[in-house]
Amino acid sequence: MTLYLVRHAIAVARTYPPLMPDAERTLTDVGIEKMVLHARALVRLGEQIEVILTSPYARARQTAEILAEPFEPRPLITIESGLTPGCDGLSMLRSIIGRYANCGVALVGHEPDMSEMAAALISNAADAKLEFKKGAVCRIDLRGESDPLEGRLRWLLAPKQLRLIARG
């Protein structure tokens, strides 16, 4: 499985509007514009994403929709409760890995979950230090269904790098 870990794009601040539940925070206009470029960069790199699993939070769902847009055929998007902030994404990944063997699968979620998942997959230590800025994308090639899951880091692209690739 080729796994893409994607942190949601820039969302409205937690304090705006006041009393908005965290799960309902949406992307800002700037966040949308930047994520469009990030998705284009992945297509430009020749990456293949067939399936996108996303956190149920609004900002992650929006990010997933933007991510899917430039791909042909368009990836299937599924809401995955195992990507809710603070959930055990590795357990969720173990439960679905057999379903998506030989596929490009993107998981759209939150911090620190994305960096902890990446660290655990590539080093078997969730406390390794990886930085996932908003809109960053990481590619990890998984090696079968072993437990613990093992992966090889292919790349981790920061938002600025993705935008440079998109603009050519």
For residue 104, what is the domain's CATH number?
A: 3.40.50.1240
Sheet (strand 76-79) strand order:
76-79, 51-54, 104-109, 2-7, 137-142, 151-157
Q: What is the mean pLDDT of each run of 10 residues along the chain (168 residues)?
A: 97 81 95 98 98 98 98 97 92 88 95 93 79 96 79 96 95
pLDDT score of 44: 97
pLDDT at 31: 98
Range of the domain at 12: 2-167
**Whole-model pTM?**
0.94
**Total residue length of the chain:** 168
Tokens read off for 102:
């030989």
144: left (phi over 0), alpha (psi -120 to 50) or beta: left
In the chain, how many domains are there? 1
